[in-house]
Amino acid sequence: MTTEPREETIRRMVPLVRLTARRVGRMVPAADIDDLVGDGFVGLIRAVDTFDAERGATLDTYARRLIVGAMLNGLRRLDPVSERARRKLRAAERAQLALAQTRGSMPSMSEMERRTTGLHRARTAAFRLAPLSLDAFPGTDGAPDFSADPARIALESGERREVIEAIALLPQRQRRIVALHYYNRLSLHSIGRRMNVSPQRVSQLHLTALARLRSVLGAR
């Protein structure tokens, strides 16, 4: 690509950078829009310079991916909590959800700290370094949840919207079980008593709901 077409292409795609910055800014309110735009320009220039039409994707699609990636990298650099601590928190969260599916109730983070070496130190670092918010939701054991870094919030905001839409497509009983279990933190046994059905039936409906959600989300 010659210098003139390259510059014209970059100027033409400037609105894409600003639009993407506004979208990421809505997902992460603490982010500075000017910083997002600056990081996005870095991604845009890299996309224009490395684009290869023979790979099948359009320049706009390729650039959008690199622009978002550059913005997320910028957010990660601003995160006061180390990436090592974030990895520890993410791994504990995955283990917590896996254990919840096995036992039918959500284990507290205090229990996960006893199971995972170094988790207490990671949670303490996140608690001390992350800015407190009066709007934050409490964690499972009464402490604020600082497990998600800003970049992850941006990525998961879109995914969370898709999950909510997929849950809305479930049959009524499955939808209620998912809501009570994952949002109200009730065990499957408690849900069974509330719905006047056996724990085995609740577990069966729960697994069916998860299979439906995986199918819907996988198709998307």
Residue 10 has which token pair? 């970059």
Nearest of 198, 167, 7 to residue 104 by alpha carbon: 198
The domain boundary residue, chosen from 35, 50, 78:
78
Q: What is the mean pLDDT of residues 172-187?
A: 83
Say yes or no: 211 and 199 in one domain: yes
The domain boundary residue, chosen from 148, 165, 191:
148
Whether the pLDDT of residue 135 is over 70: the answer is no
- Model confidence at 121, in pLDDT bands (50, 70, 90)? confident
Q: Answer with the residue of higher pLDDT: 178 or 83.
A: 178
Nearest of 198, 197, 196, 166 to residue 182 by alpha carbon: 166
Domain count along the chain: 3
Query: Can you give the residue range of the structural domain that contains 47?
Result: 3-78
* Phi, psi for 203 (deg, rounded to 5): -60, -40
Cα 94 to chain center, whole Å?
12
Say yes or no: 134 and 106 in one domain: yes
The domain boundary residue, chosen from 78, 104, 126:
78
Say yes or no: 56 and 113 in one domain: no
Residue 53 has which token pair? 């039409």
Residue 63 has which token pair? 């650039």
Say yes or no: 144 and 154 in one domain: no
**34-58 pLDDT, tens digit each:** 888 999 999 999 999 998 888 878 8
Q: Which residue's structure tokens are 């990421």?
A: 24
Domain containing 189 — which CATH number?
1.10.10.10
- Model confidence at 199, in pLDDT bands (50, 70, 90)? confident
DSSP helix/strand/coil, 144? strand
Nearest of 43, 48, 51, 47 to residue 24 by alpha carbon: 43
Say yes or no: 215 and 154 in one domain: yes
The Cα angle at residue 72 between residues 67 and 76, in degrees rounded to 5: 150
Say yes or no: 186 and 212 in one domain: yes
Return d(Cα 17, Cα 137) in angstroms, integer.
32
Say yes or no: 179 and 217 in one domain: yes
Domain containing 66 — which CATH number?
1.10.1740.10
